[in-house]
Chain A
C-alpha cells in the first residue's frame, strides 16, 4: 500500500540526515533513525489493530477517546514541555506525546458518530440539535488547541476536518458558510493576539524582509527546496540539514526531501500523496454507510490539510505552521495516528460497494433534492465506482 511506501521514504530521509541532526543534539548517529523505526513499527502495529477493528467499534470508543483527548489536553498544559510559547508535547516514559494528534483523531471519530445520528434522525437542518453542538465543539477546539496549547496549525487541521465532514454530511451550505465566517473572524483575532504569530504572518507576506530572524526558517526552507534542482543533490549530499534548516526532520522534512531528490522527487512525492488521496476519495464515495463515509472523509481532510499546510509552508505559499507531513515527518505520535487512521480506512474499504449506485433512490434529506437533470449528467459522467 501507498502508506507503507511513504513511511519508507520518511525513514530513508530521516536516515540520511540523521548524522547532521545528531551532531546538534549530541546523540548517537543512529538515534533518530532508531526512534523513527520504532515509531514506524508502532504505527504498523496500530494499523494492524485498526484494520481489523470493525468500524462499528469506533462508535463505542467515541466516549473513551473524547475523555482521553480531554485529559491529555489538560495534562499537556500542566505537565507538558513548552517550546516557543506553545505546550504541545507531554513526556511519557522516554517518548514525547503530541496531544493534538490524539485530539484530532478523537474529534473525527466523535463527529462521524454525531453527524450520522443527526442524519439518521433527519435533524441535519435543525439549528438547535445540529449546529449548536457543532459551534460548541468548535469553540472548545479553538480554546483548547488554539489558545491553551497555542497550536494554530492543529486548530486549522481540525477546522478543515470539521468543515469537510459537515460538508459531506450534507449540512446546508449557507449555515456552513456562516460558521466559516465566524472561524475566519476568530483566526484573525488569534493571530493578532500572539506576537510570534504576527511575525510569522508578516514574514509570510514578505519573506525576504528578515532572513536572519523571524524569516529565517522560511528563507532557509526556500533555499533548501531551491537548491535541490531538477534531480536533487542525492541522498547523502544535502547540507541544509546540518543545522541550517530548523526542524529538518519534522516540519521541514519536505524541504530536505526536495534538496535531496529535486523536482522529480517532489513531483513523485506529491503524486504519491495524490494517489493516496484519490484512493481515499474513492473509499468515501463507496463507503458502505454514512458513518464509515464520514470517518473516511475526516481522515482524508486531516491528511490532505496537513500535507497542504506543511508543503505549502516549505515552498513559501503558506505561512509556517508547526505541522508534520503525514508519513514522512520524524515524530512518533504523528506516525502512529496516521497509520491508525489508514487502518480505519482499510477496514472501511473492505465493505465498499461495487455495484452501480447512481440510480438508487434515497431517503436521506441530503438526497431529497436530486433531480433528473443531475441524474442525466450522472450518466455522462459515470461514478468512478461503476468502472470496477
Chain B
C-alpha cells in the first residue's frame, strides 16, 4: 500500500540517536518521578497523612435546640415560645470577584440595599454579614446562585405564636443565644440544653463523611421544655383588662396578676407598657424588658392593713369583735398620723372598720396593741417578725424570673424615728414590696395560713419525655391560724360588700366570695418626704366560693382621675378581673348555691 521506501528506514543514524536520547530522557524523567513518589509516599508518608487528617478532621460543637415554653389553655397546653431556624447570610469578600453582580442577585432575592451588600463584599475581611433571619425559601434561592464567597449559616430564633402575650414574663433570647429577662433568663440553664460534640472526617465544606468509622458523634441534648402555670386565656383577658383599666384611669403604666392561693401558681401576670419579644432588638428603653410585677417594688399603701390586721389577730392582741376608741389622729415622733377625709372623725371603731374605712390610725392602733398599747420595741419586733418571716417581705420570693427585687422593710432596731417608720409600715408606707410579694402574702392569709412560694413553672419535660413536676413549695405553714385566715376572708368580703360600687362592681355576685382591699399609696420624693399630688393605686383581693380560689393584685401608677387611686383606678381593674374569672374561667361557687 504505502511505498515502503527504504530511505525512511532508520539506520543507526543521527535520527536514531535523537530518538534514543529522547527516549532515554523520558525514562530518566520517569525514574525521577518514581524516586520522588517513593520520597513522598513512603518516606514522608506520616507527615502528609497527618497533614491530610488535620485538614479533614474537624471538631464541632453541635448546638442543642432550646426548650420550648408551653402554657395552659384551659384543659390543654399549647406552646407559646417556639424555635425557628433562620439563616444568616455572610460573605467572604476574598472570594467575591464581582461584588456588584452578586449584590444585584442578592437584592433580587432578599430585597434590601444593594449598595450595602456591595460595600460589605468589598470589605477587607473574611467574614461580613449581609443579612439575617432569611427564610428557607430565600436560602434555597441564594444557594441556587452558586456564587463563590457567600454562605449561609443556620441560626435558631425564638418565635411567639401568641405575639406579645406575657412578653415580660417570658423574656427573650439575645443574639448570643442567652436567655435575657423573665423565664428565659431564670431557666436559661434548663432551657438551653447540652451541646453535643462531633469529631469527624469531613469534606472541605465541613460536611461529615458518613462512611468514616473514626467519627465521634455525641448528639446535642435538647433543652428542657417548660410548662408554665400561666393560662393563655386568662393571661389574654388580664392583659386586655389591665390595658383598658389603665386607659380609663389615665395612667401610663401598671401591673396585675392572678395567682392560685392554694398552690402559689401564677395564672396570669402582666405589665403595661410591654414589648414584642420577637423584635426585642428594636426596644430602646431596657426598662420595658423587666417584669415590673416582680422587679419593681412600691410603697404598697393601705392594702398592707390586711396583713397588719391578720398579724394582730394572729398574735391574739385583738379579735374580730374588739372595739376601740379611734382619735382619728395619732402624734408619733412629732408627726401626725391622720386618715382620709371620709373617715367620719373620732369615734368607736371595730377591727372590721379599720379595713372597711381604711383607717391609718386604726392600723397604727393595731401596731400599738402588738406592743401592749404603744409602739415600742416589742411592737416593732413583733410586726417585723410578721413582715419578714410570715409574709416574707423584704426578700425575694424566688419566682422563676430574672431581676426579681427584694423590696424593703425597715429594721426594727436600727434607724431614725423608728416608731414613726413602723407606724407608717402598718398602713403600707415607709416600706416597699412587689405586687407578687403582696399577692403571695395575701394568699397565705386567706388560704388557711400556708405561704406558698409564688411560681410560674409547673413542670419541666426533658428530651426523653420525662416530666419533672415542680410541686408547690411551702415556705411557712403557720403564717396565721386557719381561724384567723377565715376571719380575714370574711373581713375582706365585708370590705367589698360595703364598697363594691366604688370599685366599679355594680352588683355582688350571689354565691361567690369576693374580698379585697384598696391602697392609695403616697409616692416618696427621692430627697425624702412625699409628693402631695402623686399617688399609686393598688388593690389586692380574692375570688372564690367556700374558699378563695384566685388571688388578684393590681397596681396602677399615678392615675390622673379624680378620687382615690386605690378604689377608683385599681378597683375597677380588680372588679373586671374578678368578674372575668367568674364568668369566663370558672370559679366554684359556695356550697348551697
Cβ of A80 under 8 Å from chain B = no
Most buried by B among A170, A226, A370, A377: A226
Complexed CA–CA distance, A54 and B1 (Å): 9
Residues of B within 8 A of A316 (CB): 36, 40
Report B194-235 CB contacts with A as 1/0, cut-off 8 Å.
000000011111010101100000000000000000000000
Q: Are A317 and B32 in contact (CB under 8 A)?
A: yes
Cβ of A72 under 8 Å from chain B = no
Mark the stretch among B8-16, B104-112, B321-329, B538-546 that contacts chain A.
B8-16
Number of interface residues of B (CB under 8 A): 51
Complexed CA–CA distance, A278 and B20 (Å): 11
Most buried by A among B4, B7, B12: B12
Report B414-451 CB contacts with A as 1/0, cut-off 8 Å.
00000000000000000000000000000000000000
Contact of B204 among A243, A284, A361 (CB under 8 A): A243
Residues of B within 8 A of A126 (CB): none
Report A329-367 CB contacts with B as 1/0, cut-off 8 Å.
000000000000000000000010100011111111011
Given A227-B45, A374-B13, answer yes or no on A270-B6 (Cβ-Cβ < 8 Å). no
Cβ of A375 under 8 Å from chain B = yes
Q: Are A167 and B22 in contact (CB under 8 A)?
A: yes
Residues of B within 8 A of A364 (CB): 7-8
Residues of A within 8 A of B19 (CB): 168, 281, 284-285
A357 nearest in chain B by CB position = B9
Cβ of B34 under 8 Å from chain A = yes
- Least CB distance, B575 to chain A, in whole angstroms: 65
- Least CB distance, A19 to chain B, in whole angstroms: 9
Cβ of B41 under 8 Å from chain A = yes
- Least CB distance, A151 to chain B, in whole angstroms: 20
Residues of A within 8 A of B207 (CB): 23
Q: Are B18 and A168 in contact (CB under 8 A)?
A: yes
Contact of A357 among B10, B45, B47, B212 (CB under 8 A): B10
Q: Are A293 and B8 in contact (CB under 8 A)?
A: yes
Given A227-B49, A239-B201, A263-B41, answer yes or no on A375-B11 (Cβ-Cβ < 8 Å). yes
Cβ of A312 under 8 Å from chain B = yes
Q: Are B203 and A242 in contact (CB under 8 A)?
A: yes
Mark the stretch among B23-31, B130-138, B288-296, B375-383 that contacts chain A.
B23-31
Cβ of A31 under 8 Å from chain B = no
Cβ of B237 under 8 Å from chain A = no
Cβ of B273 under 8 Å from chain A = no
State the main secondary structure of chain B at its contact with A.
Answer: helix
Cβ of A51 under 8 Å from chain B = no
Mark the stretch among A38-46, A192-200, A217-225 that contacts chain B.
A217-225
State the main secondary structure of chain A at its contact with B.
Answer: helix
Residues of B within 8 A of A369 (CB): 14
Cβ of B315 under 8 Å from chain A = no
Cβ of B591 under 8 Å from chain A = no
Cβ of A190 under 8 Å from chain B = no
Residues of A within 8 A of B593 (CB): none
Cβ of A315 under 8 Å from chain B = yes
Complexed CA–CA distance, A358 and B55 (Å): 59
Q: Are A230 and B42 in contact (CB under 8 A)?
A: yes
B211 nearest in chain A by CB position = A236
Given A55-B2, A242-B204, answer yes or no on A366-B15 (Cβ-Cβ < 8 Å). yes
Residues of B within 8 A of A131 (CB): none
Complexed CA–CA distance, A270 and B29 (Å): 10
Q: Are B201 and A263 in contact (CB under 8 A)?
A: no
Given A224-B52, A357-B9, answer yes or no on A170-B33 (Cβ-Cβ < 8 Å). no
Q: Are A244 and B34 in contact (CB under 8 A)?
A: no
B57 nearest in chain A by CB position = A239
Cβ of A69 under 8 Å from chain B = no
Q: Are A367 and B42 in contact (CB under 8 A)?
A: no
Residues of A within 8 A of B10 (CB): 285-286, 357, 383
Cβ of B585 under 8 Å from chain A = no
Residues of A within 8 A of B33 (CB): 270, 308, 311-312, 315, 317
- Least CB distance, A2 to chain B, in whole angstroms: 15
Given A262-B41, A362-B11, answer yes or no on A267-B52 (Cβ-Cβ < 8 Å). no
A242 nearest in chain B by CB position = B203
Given A23-B203, A288-B2, answer yes or no on A168-B12 (Cβ-Cβ < 8 Å). no
Complexed CA–CA distance, A170 and B38 (Å): 38
Report B174-201 CB contacts with A as 1/0, cut-off 8 Å.
0000000000000000000000000001
Cβ of B44 under 8 Å from chain A = yes
Cβ of A287 under 8 Å from chain B = yes
Q: Are A366 and B34 in contact (CB under 8 A)?
A: no
Cβ of B51 under 8 Å from chain A = yes
Residues of A within 8 A of B212 (CB): 239
Q: Are A222 and B41 in contact (CB under 8 A)?
A: no
Residues of B within 8 A of A287 (CB): 8
Contact of B37 among A242, A266, A363 (CB under 8 A): A266
A244 nearest in chain B by CB position = B204
Q: Are A258 and B37 in contact (CB under 8 A)?
A: yes
Q: Are A363 and B7 in contact (CB under 8 A)?
A: yes
Given A55-B2, A167-B18, answer yes or no on A243-B205 (Cβ-Cβ < 8 Å). yes
Cβ of A304 under 8 Å from chain B = yes
- Least CB distance, A120 to chain B, in whole angstroms: 10
Complexed CA–CA distance, A29 and B524 (Å): 76
Complexed CA–CA distance, A85 and B543 (Å): 81
Instruction: List, sorted by A's number, 22 A–B pairs whose CB atoms are closer than 8 Å.
Output: A23-B207, A168-B22, A223-B51, A226-B45, A226-B49, A226-B52, A230-B45, A242-B202, A244-B56, A244-B203, A258-B41, A266-B37, A274-B26, A286-B10, A361-B11, A364-B7, A366-B13, A367-B13, A375-B12, A383-B10, A383-B12, A383-B16
Additional 14 contacts, C-beta under 8 A, given A225-B41, A244-B52:
A55-B2, A226-B47, A244-B56, A270-B30, A273-B30, A281-B19, A287-B8, A288-B4, A289-B3, A308-B29, A362-B7, A367-B7, A375-B11, A378-B11
Give me the 6 closest cross-chain CB pairs, A-B, nearest first: A226-B48, A243-B204, A378-B12, A242-B203, A357-B9, A263-B41
B residues with a Cβ closer than 8 A to A are 1-16, 18-19, 22-23, 26-27, 29-30, 32-34, 36-38, 40-42, 44-45, 47-49, 51-52, 55-56, 201-205, 207, 209, 211-212
